[in-house]
Amino acid sequence: MSENLGAFEAVKSWASFGGRQRVLRHASAACGGPMELSVFVPPGDGPFPVVTYLSGLTCTAMNVTEKGGFQRVAAELGLIVVCPDTSPRGAGVPGEDESWDFGTAAGFYVDATETPWSERYRMWTYVTEELPPLVDAAFPTKGPAHRSVFGHSMGGHGALVVGLRQPEAWRSISAFAPISAPSQVPWGEKAFTGYLGPDRERWRAYDATELVQRGAHPEPILVDLGTADPFLDAQLRPEPFQAACERAGQALELRLQEGYDHSYYFIASFMEDHLRHHAARLGA
């Protein structure tokens, strides 16, 4: 007998630490086509709070699902973990597969305003408006007041922006190696120019360093970076965000982890810390 998963179609499913890890597919109105994601539901009847993880450049939902090591701790804490994809797939936009840091797997969690990207590349709306109610309808969640967000690299940028723009909707924020000042680094400049156009005023809505100066999140933000991360100085540049948090009175725990790089070995090493950070604020 098939499960009733609402708008979702089950692609794969595994038992994991007493809970259930699923890969799902659904038709996305925001992105104009099919999207896949993974959802881990812990053991028990619930209801459970939800933590959404946003992945980085080149990734699908499966990178963190298979390498992040979150299932054991999420099962213990009673957390649903939702992992969306990083962009539409096969959207047919000319040039979307020409480079690894723009287009497919590089949606940057923005709603594109420039043609031809604006029709399908609407990851902001997908993550913040479309996906949460679909998850609530399909799984035993505690509902809109019990959500948190975290992510890695491009997804760390996404998590900071989502949480800072919608502090009433996301209880807590954390990030691994985030692109926290995207308007000031090559990855962000390339993505924002392509998706949003050359007017830098439009970029401010998706730049955590700009956003935190407009209003702090009520909870401390946890950020981990590795000292051996090859992108630390050129692309991640945590200093502008750290300084902006200090000016804005935003509580920030920024930890430089000695010898760690940008990989999932780094993420898996500190995943438990991040999940416990969120669980404490979600009442899990």
What is the DSSP annotation of 183-211? GGSHHHHHHHHHHH-S-HHHHGGG-HHHH
Residue 193, class by beta-carbon neighbours within 10 Å (0-12 exposed, 13-18 middle, 19+ buried)?
middle
The pairing of beta strand 252-257 with beta strand 221-226: parallel
Q: Within a 10 A sphere around the Cβ of 2, how many other Cβ atoms?
A: 6
Q: Break the chain down into helix, strand, coil percent, rounded to 5.
A: 35, 25, 40
Quote the distance between the C-alpha of residue 216 and its chain's center. 19
Contact 110, 194 (CB under 8 A): no
CA distance 143 to 126: 17
How far from each other are the two terminal CA atoms of the chain, in whole angstroms? 31
Give the up-direction half-sphere exposure of residue 103: CA atoms within 13 A in the CB hemisphere: 12
Q: Which residue has the tokens 């029709």?
A: 119
Catalytic positions: 153, 229, 262
Q: Within a 10 A sphere around the Cβ of 152, how many other Cβ atoms?
A: 29
pLDDT at 164: 98
Angle, CA of 137, 141 and 146, to the nearest 5°? 120
- Check: pTM over 0.75? Answer yes or no: yes
Contact 74, 275 (CB under 8 A): yes
Task: Report the candidate in 79, 87, 77, 66 with the shortest Cα–Cα distance to residue 12.
Answer: 66
Query: Which residues on adjacent β-strands are paired with residue 152?
Result: 176
9-282: which CATH topology?
A: Rossmann fold (3.40.50)
pLDDT at 2: 63
Q: Within a 10 A sphere around the Cβ of 69, how many other Cβ atoms?
A: 16
Query: Which residues on adjacent β-strands are paired with residue 224?
Result: 176, 255
CA distance 265 to 261: 8
pLDDT at 1: 47
pLDDT at 3: 78
Per-residue pLDDT of the chain (284 residues; tens, 9 = 90+): 467 899 999 999 999 999 999 999 999 999 999 999 999 999 999 999 999 999 999 999 999 999 999 999 999 999 999 999 999 999 999 999 999 999 999 999 999 999 999 999 999 999 999 999 999 999 999 999 999 999 999 999 999 999 999 999 999 999 999 999 999 999 999 999 999 999 999 999 999 999 999 999 999 999 999 999 999 999 999 999 999 999 999 999 999 999 999 999 999 999 999 999 999 999 87
